[in-house]
């Protein structure tokens, strides 16, 4: 009999119960690349137990407008890990994006997308590129709160929250620590959006202090993305808000040459979802020629996430070796570099044959820095003193002379409040506006308590009561002004919670 003596560590590992994961085979090329990937994971020794769930096209076409049914929800919520092949969203109205539904419903706040050059095996102008973009996934302009307020003006609300910033930024630093990365760069536009992006930047500075071993940097998003596109090798981990992250993660994947090869993770406090970034490629479905690399990379991230980084490295390294050997699927085949054009399953066979080997030219995968999974503490809210000090009243006003509006509103000494200024599209037009400023039909009129010392650069505002605001609105309405919206002006612990008008 062949007996094996196990060390205690091996013993614990061997008897560890497998991690259950919900697996969606997807549509189009999904089932082919999922089969190839699961075969690799099995031979590599991934300690996982797939539970197959039905998502996507079949569900949509059977009348489920969200593409997912209650049994799949249950499997996802009990297993907490979803491994998902791409799905097809049927053409036509009324079908909701399943990815958006999953992300939002399950609170998957972090989108993590590593991009590493595989030069010369996959063409790129940036052979040394090796970065990870960590994008906030739930907030920002993507809350989808939009309104048309006047005939000419439409609005989209940008929501940035402290818990949202703390979670994503802490995740970025913890990720850097867990995966041996050296630097975290924050990208914001806080020179313009001082409150929202300012908060993101401030929280970044606060949390960075807890990670002195990691280098930190903040860049303004416009020059930051330009530098990313020109010198991607200067970046390591990038953390940013939803919209910026959406844009720069596509830039990064594109210049890395590997849109078809990248995996991505969507991480929540409870649940995490792993998938390739490409779609279901219906044009080549069933032909057996699809590249399973995106899903393999998603699997690597999943294994690292569930604390099986050694297996993750084993799979990743075998995959790198396969690319070095020149076994390439049709989408990355290059006459001069490739040795053989292989199909999906043959590619997987080669990866399996290479398990245990490490690449010669490409950088070896080393995901085994940390000790297991990343935990982010729950948010703790510290109560602050909130005081009402004024109100911005937005009017739909068809006139074109700001002084006319200003003088009539300034004449109202209503309820111990006074008009402080009027802006149009954020620019001060009263008092002392410039006649060159273009004005639309959307006027923001700022009223503050009369005791306010309104001429200081950092004024202290008089506290007012909301009753005064209600009375002011009623008065304006009575006078025939079309009030379209208000924003209360608050101080929090004595600090101004609103921006000044441009030129104020
Ligand atoms: P796509 O990524 O499926 O295909 C774009 C092009 O890349 C096609 O020529 C395709 O053949 C090729 N391609 C993609 N993946 C490949 C692979 N692994 N190996 C070889 N070639 C590959 O994008 P498309 O055509 O815009 O979308 C097709 C469907 O996929 C749509 O229904 C879309 O809604 C869905 N989709 C799903 C996603 C998901 O489930 N996460 C993400 C993106 C799209
Ligand atoms: Mg996008």
Instruction: Tell whether ligand 1 has an atom less than 6 A from the beta carbon of residue 56.
Output: no
Nearest residue to 256 via CA among 161, 109, 439, 126: 126
Residue 482 lies in a domain: yes
Tell me the C-alpha distance between 259 and 253, whole Å.
Answer: 5
Instruction: Tell whether ligand 1 has an atom less than 6 A from the beta carbon of residue 67.
Output: no
Instruction: Tell whether ligand 1 has an atom less than 6 A from the beta carbon of residue 280.
Output: yes
Instruction: Tell whether ligand 1 has an atom less than 6 A from the beta carbon of residue 331.
Output: yes
- CA 113 centroid distance within chain: 10
- The residue range of the domain holding 401 is 386-496
Residue 74 lies in a domain: yes
User: What DSSP string runs through 227-288?
Assistant: HHHH-GGG-SEEEE-HHHHHHHHHHHHHHTT-TTT-EEEEE-SS-EEEEESS---GGGTTSS
Burial state string for 341-356 with b = 16 or more CB within 10 A and e = fewer than 16? bbbbeebbbbbbebbe
Number of the ligand 1 atom closest to the C-alpha atom of 98: 40
pLDDT at residue 11, as a whole number: 47
- Nearest ligand to the C-alpha of residue 97? 1
Confidence grade of residue 457 (pLDDT, cut at 50, 70, 90): low
Domain boundary at 211, 243, 275, which? 243
For a pLDDT cut of 90, what percent of the chain falls above it? 80
* Residues 21, 85 within the same domain: yes
**How many domains are contained in the chain?**
3
* Residues 279, 328 within the same domain: yes
- Nearest ligand to the C-alpha of residue 259? 1
Q: What is the DSSP letter of 386?
A: E
- CATH number for the domain spanning 45: value is 3.40.718.10
Instruction: Tell whether ligand 1 has an atom less than 6 A from the beta carbon of residue 290.
Output: yes
469 beta partners: none
Instruction: Tell whether ligand 1 has an atom less than 6 A from the beta carbon of residue 260.
Output: yes
Task: Return the SS3 of 167.
Answer: helix
Instruction: Tell whether ligand 1 has an atom less than 6 A from the beta carbon of residue 483.
Output: no
* Residues 263, 370 within the same domain: yes
For residue range 348-367, list pLDDT tens digits in order. Answer: 999 999 999 999 999 999 88
Q: Locate 445 and state its tokens.
A: 């009129």
- Nearest ligand to the C-alpha of residue 99? 1
Instruction: Tell the residue nearest (CA) to atom 34 of ligand 1.
Output: 89
Asked whether the predicted pLDDT for residue 451 surpasses 90, the reply is no
For residue range 195-210, list pLDDT tens digits in order. Answer: 999 999 999 999 999 9
Instruction: Tell the residue nearest (CA) to atom 36 of ligand 1.
Output: 279
Instruction: Tell whether ligand 1 has an atom less than 6 A from the beta carbon of residue 86.
Output: yes
Question: How far, in Å, is the centroid of ligand 1 from the Cα of 328?
Answer: 18
Instruction: Tell whether ligand 1 has an atom less than 6 A from the beta carbon of residue 278.
Output: yes
For residue range 42-97, list pLDDT tens digits in order. Answer: 999 999 999 999 999 989 988 888 899 899 999 999 999 999 999 998 887 778 88
* Residues 162, 238 within the same domain: yes
Instruction: Tell the residue nearest (CA) to atom 9 of ligand 1.
Output: 281
Reported pTM: 0.91
The answer to whether the beta carbons of residues 31 and 89 sit under 8 Å apart is: no
User: What DSSP string runs through 289-355?
Assistant: ----HHHHHHHHHHHHHTT-HHHHHHHHHHHHHHHHTTEE-GGG--TTT-SEE--HHHHHHHHHHTT
**Helix intervals (H) in 91-241:** 98-105, 162-178, 196-208, 221-230
For residue range 101-145, list pLDDT tens digits in order. Answer: 898 899 999 999 999 999 999 989 999 999 999 999 999 998 889
Residue 306 lies in a domain: yes
Nearest residue to 176 via CA among 187, 186, 168, 184: 184
Question: How far, in Å, is the centroid of ligand 1 from the Cα of 8?
Answer: 46
Residue 189 lies in a domain: yes
Residue 380 lies in a domain: no
Which of 91, 93, 258, 279 is the best mutation target for the ligand 1 pocket, counting ligand atoms within 8 Å of the beta carbon and taking the most? 279
Angle of helix 30-44 versus helix 293-305 axis, rounded to 10: 50
* Residues 84, 149 within the same domain: no
* Residues 133, 239 within the same domain: yes
Instruction: Tell the residue nearest (CA) to atom 32 of ligand 1.
Output: 88
């Amino acid at each position: 009999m062949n007996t094996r003596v196990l060390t205690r560590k091996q013993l614990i590992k061997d008897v560890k119960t497998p991690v259950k994961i919900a697996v969606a085979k997807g549509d189009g090329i999904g089932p082919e690349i999922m089969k190839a990937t699961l075969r690799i994971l099995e031979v590599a020794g991934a300690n996982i137990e797939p539970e197959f769930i039905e998502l996507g096209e079949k569900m949509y076409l059977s009348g489920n407008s969200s593409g997912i049914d209650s049994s799949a929800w249950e499997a996802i919520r009990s297993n907490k890990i979803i491994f998902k092949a791409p799905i097809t969203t049927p053409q036509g109205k009324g079908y909701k994006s399943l990815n958006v539904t999953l992300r939002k419903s399950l609170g998957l706040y972090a989108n993590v997308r590593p991009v590493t050059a595989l030069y010369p095996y996959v063409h790129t102008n940036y052979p040394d590129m090796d970065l990870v973009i960590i994008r906030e996934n739930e907030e920002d302009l993507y809350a989808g709160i939009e309104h048309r307020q006047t005939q000419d003006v439409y609005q989209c609300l940008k929501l940035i929250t402290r818990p949202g910033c703390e979670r994503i930024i802490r995740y970025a630093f913890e990720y850097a620590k867990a995966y041996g990365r050296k630097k975290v760069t924050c990208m914001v536009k806080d020179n313009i959006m001082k409150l929202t992006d300012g908060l993101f930047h401030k929280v970044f500075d606060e949390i960075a202090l807890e990670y002195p071993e990691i280098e930190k940097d903040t860049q303004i998003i416009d020059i930051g993305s330009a530098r990313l596109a020109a010198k991607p090798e200067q970046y390591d981990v990038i953390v940013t808000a939803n919209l910026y992250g959406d844009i720069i993660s596509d830039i990064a994947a594109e210049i890395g040459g590997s849109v078809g090869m990248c995996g991505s993770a969507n991480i929540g406090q409870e649940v995490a979802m792993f998938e390739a970034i490409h779609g279901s490629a219906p044009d080549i479905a069933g032909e057996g020629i699809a590249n399973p690399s995106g899903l393999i990379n998603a699997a690597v991230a999943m294994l690292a996430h569930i604390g099986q980084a050694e297996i993750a490295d084993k799979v990743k390294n075998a995959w790198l070796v396969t690319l070095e050997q020149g076994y390439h699927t049709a989408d990355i085949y290059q006459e001069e570099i490739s040795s053989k054009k292989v199909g999906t399953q043959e590619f997987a066979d080669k990866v399996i044959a290479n398990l245990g080997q490490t690449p010669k030219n490409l950088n070896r995968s080393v995901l085994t820095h940390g000790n297991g999974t990343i935990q982010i503490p729950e948010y703790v809210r510290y109560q602050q003193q909130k005081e009402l000090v004024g109100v911005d009243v937005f009017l739909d006003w068809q006139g074109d002379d700001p002084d006319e509006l200003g003088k009539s509103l300034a004449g109202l000494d209503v309820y111990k409040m006074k008009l402080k200024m009027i802006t149009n599209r954020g620019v001060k037009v009263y008092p002392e506006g410039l006649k060159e400023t273009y004005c639309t039909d959307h006027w923001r009129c700022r009223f503050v308590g009369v005791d306010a010392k309104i001429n200081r650069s950092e004024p202290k505002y008089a506290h007012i009561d909301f009753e005064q605001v209600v009375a002011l609105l009623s008065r304006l309405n009575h006078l025939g002004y079309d009030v379209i919206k208000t924003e209360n002006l608050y101080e929090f612990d004595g600090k101004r919670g609103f921006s000044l008008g441009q030129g104020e």
